[in-house]
A and B are shown apart, each in its own frame.
Chain A
């Protein structure tokens, strides 16, 4: 295997494991951001520019920030967290191996691995946009509606309560 891809693999898995097992919650969040970056690197290695950069923009720029803001708002600074240690850890490893094994076997025994590789589609932004606007327009609108509902719900939940006021 190419050393670059080996390095990327190690980094991805390592940061994912670190994101689960570090003691400090903020370190975990930052390792999660590193994992997202590595996934973006995989997308870029597959020449999917748009998805790769969108992955960085959305995951590192929004989701990781969201996690981090949640930590900021709900945790005390001086808190020293404990690492999440599940005593029979072999059970966890076993489940992970089981899931990974079933996924790998499903992929390798599917048509993707057997048939010859089709020519790489030019996943340019224009092609993606055209598909979104013609073939996949209904899912797009439904997602937009869902996001709007979520936004409105968040705003409603976060409104200050209009009670009688705190009288001393």
Chain B
């Protein structure tokens, strides 16, 4: 019974496929997967916009939208109607073709990256041998769309915003990829399905063997999520679209449906990279404790995705925006060394796995935590104390 519920979508797809002649089946299979992904994540996008507005509202001591439906449930519908009926203005001197193409160039890579994530048991749309590399490759293409948006507007502010956005995305790509390399190293495979499989089994019979329950996994997860927040231009790293500074930066000249597409692309990116973090560190569709194994796998995946999105919203409501130079210092001077040390810690954990004396797990944990924690504290003290509180020196004022 539990197995049937778990595989219900897989069986549904096979049943649908059986209606078509076998020559057409690969194509139809791709179409069904793509349609399912777009439908699910499209509606998740709508729910996320509402959840974000209400969540941010409650954090800021106000109710959030509650006029449109009961508790504001129909607000995404109202937003969609607004976006569709707004006038789509294109500046006269703008580069028409690139201006038109930039939002689609933002959406296509993010939708492509949804294809490799395993949403449940046997539920990845495609399972590449180098699935993780595919994910990062299409993620890197998003920067092109940011540039295209900023350049084609022929607006100096948009150009500044695009430059800052690209610089930020490039800075944080390195910690993102390096923190996922630890998982690849320990698992020995780039395939996301195999990474989820390597997190099977339970410690001592009850706690799952997720990578996040190891010291390098925890550090890697936190680093990955920080870099992911920066990659999808979300607070506190939302300088490119700082509303109070650059008035949406590279998106200044976009209005109406094109702006909605950018917005959608940003949210899709956030959900995709959360999905990757869940796959790499939180055990994908696996249950956290042995007793809850009967819950369908896709419910676990989307539950974890919901928690990740909630944490994103929580962090957005809490932290102020980072300045451009603070952002880049943080990436290069703090996160990069920590990710490299994390690699070493993962190797140490892997090779001390053969220890089997009593209390070995605790010793390994302490060793790993010390290996990562000491540089964290030292780097933190070295970089972030002291300066900023002395008398100001001006370089150009006499």
Establish whether A and B are touching in the complex (CB under 8 Å).
Answer: yes
Q: How many residues of B contact A (CB 8 A)?
A: 34
Which residues in window 35-64 of A have CB below 8 A to B? Answer: 49-50, 53-54, 56-57, 60-62, 64
User: Is B95 touching A30 in the complex (CB atoms < 8 A)?
Assistant: no
> Which among A92-100, A140-148, A160-168 touches the partner chain?
A160-168
Q: Does A157 contact B (CB under 8 A)?
A: no
Q: Does B380 contact A (CB under 8 A)?
A: no
CB distance from A27 to the nearest CB of B (A): 8
> Which among A7-15, A65-73, A82-90, A104-112 touches the partner chain?
A65-73
Most central of A24, A53, A60, A68 by chain B CB within 10 Å: A53
Q: Does B163 contact A (CB under 8 A)?
A: yes
User: Is B130 touching A65 in the complex (CB atoms < 8 A)?
Assistant: no
User: Is B163 touching A72 in the complex (CB atoms < 8 A)?
Assistant: yes
Size category, A interface: 20 to 34
Q: Does B134 contact A (CB under 8 A)?
A: yes
> Which among B40-48, B148-156, B216-224, B233-241 touches the partner chain?
B148-156
- 1/0 per position for A125-138, CB-CB distance to B under 8 A? 11000000000000
User: Is A24 touching B133 in the complex (CB atoms < 8 A)?
Assistant: no
Q: Which DSSP category, helix, strand, loop or mixed, fits chain B's interface?
A: helix
User: Is B148 touching A56 in the complex (CB atoms < 8 A)?
Assistant: no
Q: Does A156 contact B (CB under 8 A)?
A: no
- Asked, given contacts A78-B154, A125-B129, A126-B188, whether A165 binds B396 with beta carbons under 8 Å apart, the answer is yes
Q: Does B38 contact A (CB under 8 A)?
A: no
29 residue pairs bridging A and B, Cβ less than 8 Å apart: A24-B95, A26-B95, A33-B144, A49-B130, A49-B134, A50-B129, A53-B133, A53-B134, A53-B136, A54-B133, A56-B138, A56-B141, A60-B140, A61-B139, A61-B173, A62-B170, A64-B144, A65-B143, A65-B144, A65-B166, A68-B144, A69-B147, A72-B159, A78-B154, A125-B133, A125-B189, A126-B188, A166-B396, A168-B398
Query: Which residues of A pack against B, CB within 8 Å?
Result: 24, 26-27, 30, 33, 49-50, 53-54, 56-57, 60-62, 64-65, 68-69, 72-73, 77-78, 124-126, 165-168
Query: Which residues of B pack against A, CB within 8 Å?
Result: 93, 95, 98, 128-130, 133-134, 136-141, 143-144, 147-148, 151, 154-156, 159, 162-163, 166, 170, 173, 188-190, 395-396, 398
